[in-house]
Amino acid sequence: MASVSPAWLYQDGGLRSMDSVDGVVAKRLYFNNLKISFAGSFPASVWKFKVGITSPLKRSPLLPCIKCENSDKDGSFEHVSVERAPYHSYMDSTSGQLEPASGARASIPGQDYWPEGTASRVRAARAPEPTGISTGVSSFGKNPGSRRKKYKSSPSATYESSETNVVVNDPVEAETPDDASEEPKDLLSEYVVYQTEPEKEELTGYELDKKLGRPHPFVDPKAKKPIEEPLTSEELWWNWRKPDKEQWSRWQRRRPDVETVFLKAMAETGEVTLYGDHPTMTECSLYRARRHIYKEERLQAEQEKLEKIGPMAYYSEWVKAWKRDTSREAVQKHFEETGEDENTQLIEMFMHQTDREYRIMMGTDIRIRRDPLAMRMREDQIKQIWGGDPVYPTVNYIQDPNEVIDYRGPDFHEPTPNMLPYLKEHGKIISREELEKILAKEKTEELELTDMDEAMAQAVDIGENDDEGEDSEVDGDNEEKITRNWSVLKSNPELQKSKGKPKKNNMSLDEAIDDSENITDFLLDFEEDE
Amino acid sequence: MAQLWKNLQQQPKCNTRNRPIRSPKAALATDEETSADLSFPLFQPSSLPQHTPASKLELADPDFYKIGYVRSMRAYGIEFREGSDGFGVYASKDVEPLRRARVIMEIPLELMLTISQKLPWMFFPDIIPLGHPIFDIINSTNPEKDWDLRLACLLLQAFDCKDNFWQLYGDFLPSADECSSLLLATEEDLLELQDQNLASTMREQQKRALEFWEKNWHSAVPLKIKRLAQEPERFIWALSMAQSRCINKQIRIGALVQDANMLVPYADMLNHSFQPNCFFHWRFKDRMLEVMINAGQRIRKGDEMTVNYMVGQKNNFFMQRYGFSSPVNPWDVIHFSGSTQIHLNSFLSVFNISGLPEEYYHNSKLSNDGDSFVDGAVIAAARTLPTWSDGDIPPIPSMERKAVKELQEECQQMLAEFPTTAGQDQQILEAMPEARRTLEAAVKYRLHRKLFIEKIIQALDIYQERILF
């Protein structure tokens, strides 16, 4: 069956390239479109008949040549074929040398680097095999010189001399393979006889037919085995397809090919019998070849029809309004009468064509139901080959602009409407007043520390540790002096009292703290005294 | 016998060659009675040769190379062709002169038949089964002198071994009537040699071979031996093969270095030349005998590949061992009696021969192009003529001329001693195109000798002319 997509491409390409109805030039594009349209519009019987005409035995597909109306200007057309151009090597642009198509290998070093003896072996292997068939046959040591060409007639026949006349090497009779008659005495002494002629075998039946070239079945009926039931894919021993389950992603599975999917679809609908579940490479290529050949045949049939009935008659099929006679003679007569050649008449005919007919002729009418297999395939099969819609590949991607999208998923929770009391409840937030309270508490704690220092300041180092020595004592004294001198107030409590008293008017400590602006109020101002 | 010698006269000094050669059609084979043009170039007008030597010959049977190819023997850029004189190896494409010697043939050890020259005799490959009586025969031979008998036995054994390569290759060896080795010659042929020494030597050789056969192939010997050589002729043929096609090389197998006598399948189809293109090389890594083109040697398509069979031997040696001779053997010797001598240096300079006495060669850079007179015969003359050379003492022309005249007279005398003249010999050869090979070879031998002497006379003439300058 035909594949649809290349036909579509051709259709589009064809539309644009056809600027004038000098598309009398029978383009292949027409044929592609025609077969698609025919498949829908014409009954299958017509096609079968037409296909049957081209004898099924003739399997030589001719590449449809693009033939010009005037055959003078031909030869400049490209023969486009569906198949990939097979090449095994190409001129690489990067290296500038001939490269193999399938993965390059390191270059083979030249003769200078070959190991010893390789050159002679290579030369011996490259030497051409001798052609030519010899007419003589070997005597296997019995007749030396028997296969030489004799330029002089044997003198032994004319000249008789016992010494030179060697019976064994009689050249005149050397040709005859019958040595026994020449040397009767040898028969007695040489009792070992070598068989020179092979036995003849009798062939009968199939083998005889085969040997004689008579029509015979392909396989010897005696040796023929009955066709067994096709095995499933798992049973087939050559099915080394890897299972999908072991791959951790579906992307790792084997990509289906066009032919594979088509074949599988056809097998599902029953058009084709496969030998297993999945089509093999052989079946795919067979299908592909068959499809190609069918297409070729149909193109050929179309071409022949065009050639047979002429373009006017051919294209009038799609111009219903053209009622005139379109046979070749009529065209010729019209030409003679009016001087309009075939092209002009075609133009006039196409003037009467409707848009619908035009679309049908070009094969782009979407309103006509086509029924190639591609239409019948399941959606997942189609998607395997051609992929889905590029814009909306899956259902999920289709968007309604007015839609309110709910992003919530299964583990999506509702957001809390009142954050503040929620946080307050859980103790994450406190109010400003509480904060200030806490901060205030933190201030009083600082004062307690100073009392502690007083006690430390009044302590005297006894010098318990004798190990330290003079330096440490001096240091210790210095440190003590420093610690003491750190706060004059603390080292001199009488000073503190004397200063603090005049300011303090029999107030309690707390009142005094509250009354003070900051701590510095409690610092004595020495400069005023002195 | 393979095509025996390559005539120097056909080597190009100035002659151009047309390329490419036409492919020889099968019809050429029947026209090849005119092989005289290959054999007797002296009597040809020395015009430009139209084709390469290869174009006249037919390609050998394709099975010839195929049986070797299947067993991993390789031939690169050469083809085997067959003519009326036998097989030859010809280049199938041009070769540029390279720095390194090029391999044209490589033959693995498994195809060869090799015996070490000294005790203990080792065979590579070892086709003699344990306890086979042929080994006793081989053991009974003289270690120093009877190497050819051993090889012959080995060859016959190889013909008998199942699936041995030599069973297939033997079909391409020259049969007894194609072989021109004098071992197979009759008394008549030996008389035609017109050389008593050589004839007696050959008679001795034949006797020796026959005795050996009779000793070891008497009627009571087991069938295993008997069927190797049912008749003495077969043995003598094998012996002639062994003598003419043997390659003596020092080879290294594994860690052992030894002198070996080898019968090598395809390398023995190379013909001999006194100015060879190729040489043999033993590659010990994979035990292959390589036939390599000399470094710096330019080869054209259709050139014949040649090897020097034996360096520094006279024609009679070649005749005795290989069954051919050459008129341009630079090592040929003529014994001059008398004390007349000519000045060596002026003789050499007249003919532009340079090099040490062992390696005289024609220096073509000094000579003008077109001088094709100097060939191996003149070089042999330079070696064999009685000469004197005394520092800077110049030759006196009159004395030189006198000496030359005397030497020429002596040569004429020698020629007169022969029953026939060169021309008559030539006619005899043309008159019997279907002669036996041995007869033909014998006649050619004496012809070449006479030609050599005639060439010396000519050379002396030229020397006389050019002596004054």
Q: What is the mean pLDDT of each run of 10 residues along chain A (530 residues)?
A: 44 44 45 46 47 46 58 55 62 76 70 89 91 86 85 44 36 36 44 62 81 84 78 66 61 71 81 78 84 90 92 92 90 91 92 89 72 68 73 68 73 67 84 90 66 66 60 48 56 56 62 77 64
Give pLDDT, residue B36. Answer: 37
pLDDT for B291 beyond 70: yes
Cα nearest neighbour of B66 on chain A = A130
DSSP letter string, A136-164: S---TTSSTTTTS---S--HHHHS--TTT
Degrees (nearest 5) of the Cα angle A418, A419, A420? 100
Cis bond upstream, residue A64 (ω within 30): no
User: Buried b / exposed e across B380-414, counting CB within 10 Å, b at 16+?
Assistant: bbbbbbbbeeeeeeebeeeebbebbebbbebbeeb
Residue that wins the pLDDT comparison between A281 and B280: B280
A146 close to B (CB below 8 A): yes
Q: How far is the CA of A184 from the CAs of A169, A179, A191, in angstroms?
A: 14, 9, 12
Q: Determine how many CB atoms are found less than 10 A away from the CB of residue A255.
A: 8
- Using the predicted structure, report yes or no on whether residue B309 has a pLDDT greater than 90: yes
Highest mean pLDDT among A61-75, A210-224, B13-27, B196-210: B196-210
Using an 8 Å Cβ cutoff, are B241 and B152 in contact? yes
Question: What sections of B161-284 are H helices per DSSP?
Answer: 165-169, 187-192, 196-216, 223-226, 232-245
Nearest CB partner across the interface for B176, out of A138, A169, A186: A169
- Is residue A230 within 8 A of residue A274, CB to CB? The reply is yes
Which residue, among A116, A142, A149, would best test binding to B if mutated, counting the most B CBs under 10 Å from its CB?
A149
| Min Cα–Cα distance to chain A from B176, Å | 7
Phi, then psi, of B283 in degrees rounded to 5:
-95, 110
Task: Give DSSP secondary structure letters for A227-272.
Answer: PPPPPPTTT-TT--PPPSTTSSSGGGSPPPPHHHHHHHHHHHHTSS
CB proximity A112 to B under 8 Å: no
Backbone dihedral angles phi then psi of residue B279, each to the nearest 5 degrees: -150, 165
Chains A, B: CB contacts within 8 A come to 145
Using CB atoms and an 8 Å cut-off, which of residues 186-225 of chain A contact chain B? 186, 189-190
Contact call for B170 and A161, based on CB within 8 A: no
What's the mean pLDDT in B239-263? Answer: 93
Q: Which residue in A138, A152, A158 has the most chain B C-beta atoms within 10 A of its own C-beta, making it the best mutation to test that interface?
A: A152
A116 shares contact with chain B (CB less than 8 Å): yes
Residues of A within 8 A of B170 (CB-CB) are: 139, 141, 143-145
* Res A50: pLDDT: 46
Torsion angle, alpha carbons of B313, B318, B322, B323, to 10: 180
Shortest Cα–Cα distance, A122 to chain B (Å):
12
Q: Are A145 and B174 within 8 A, CB to CB?
A: yes
Give A191's contacts (C-beta < 8 A, 6+ positions apart).
none
CA distance A323 to B363: 101
Are the beta carbons of A149 and B29 separated by less than 8 Å? yes
Which residues of chain A neighbour B433 with C-beta distances below 8 Å? Answer: 152
Is A111 within 8 Å of chain B by CB? Answer: no
Characterize A355-388 residue by residue with b for buried, 16 or more Cβ atoms within 10 angstroms of its Cβ, and e for exposed: eebebbbbbbbeebebebbbeebeeebbebbeee
Per-window interface: A 287-316 vs B, CB < 8 A? none
Residue A37: what pLDDT? 46
Suggest the residue from B3, B171, B206, B221 to mutate for an interface test with chain A (most A CBs closer than 10 A): B171
The residue of B63, B181, B288 whose CB has the most chain A CBs within 10 angstroms, and thus the best one to mutate to test that interface, is B63
Contacts of B92 in chain A (CB under 8 A): none
Alpha carbon distance B7, B53 (integer Å): 11
Please report the pLDDT score of residue A64 as a whole number. Answer: 61
C-alpha to C-alpha distance for A260 and A272, rounded to whole angstroms: 12
Are B234 and A131 in contact (CB < 8 Å)? no
A502 preceded by cis ω (within 30°)? no
Cβ distance of A138 and B226 shorter than 8 Å: no
pLDDT at B19: 37
Does A119 touch chain B if contact means CB atoms closer than 8 Å?
Answer: no
Tokens of B239: 């012996």
* Token pair of A219 as six digits: 């396989």
Of B72, B83, B171, Cβ closest to residue A147: B171
Residues of chain B above pLDDT 70, percent: 88
Residues of A in contact with B288 (CB under 8 A): 120
- Which of A116, A131, A155 has the CB atom closest to B177's CB atom? A155
**Residue B34: what pLDDT?**
38
pLDDT of residue B121 exceeding 50, the answer is yes
Strands B246-253 and B278-283: unpaired
**Chain B: nearest CA to A273, how far in angstroms?**
50
- The number of beta carbons lying within 10 Å of the beta carbon of residue B211 is 11
Instruction: Tell me the shortest Cα–Cα distance from B171 to chain A, in angstroms.
Output: 4
Strand B78-83 to B86-91 pairing: antiparallel
Summarize the confidence of residues B324-353 as an average pLDDT.
88
Residue of B nearest to A189 (CA): B223
* d(C-alpha B425, C-alpha A318), whole Å: 102
pLDDT digits (tens, 9 = 90+) for B359-390: 888 887 777 766 778 888 889 998 999 988 88
Cα separation, B447 vs B441, whole angstroms: 10
As for the ipTM of the complex, it is 0.74
Indicate which of A154, A163, A164, A187 best probes the interface with B, i.e. most B CBs within 10 Å of its own CB.
Answer: A164
**Tokens, residue A52:** 């049957």
Is A144 in CB contact (< 8 Å) with chain B? yes
User: Which chain A positions have a beta carbon within 8 Å of B63's beta carbon?
Assistant: 134, 136, 138, 147
Write down the residue that tokens 């026949």 correspond to: A157
Q: Which of A207-216, B239-248, B398-407, B422-431 has the highest mean pLDDT?
A: B239-248
Among B379, B372, B292, B312, which Cα is nearest to B89's?
A: B292
Residue B74: is its pLDDT beyond 90? yes
Judging contacts by C-beta atoms under 8 Å, the chain B residues touching residue A159 are 436
pTM of the model: 0.52
Within an 8 Å CB–CB cutoff, is residue A118 touching chain B? Answer: no
Closest residue on chain B to A190 (Cα): B227
Interface test with B, best of A166, A190, A192 (most B CBs within 10 A): A166
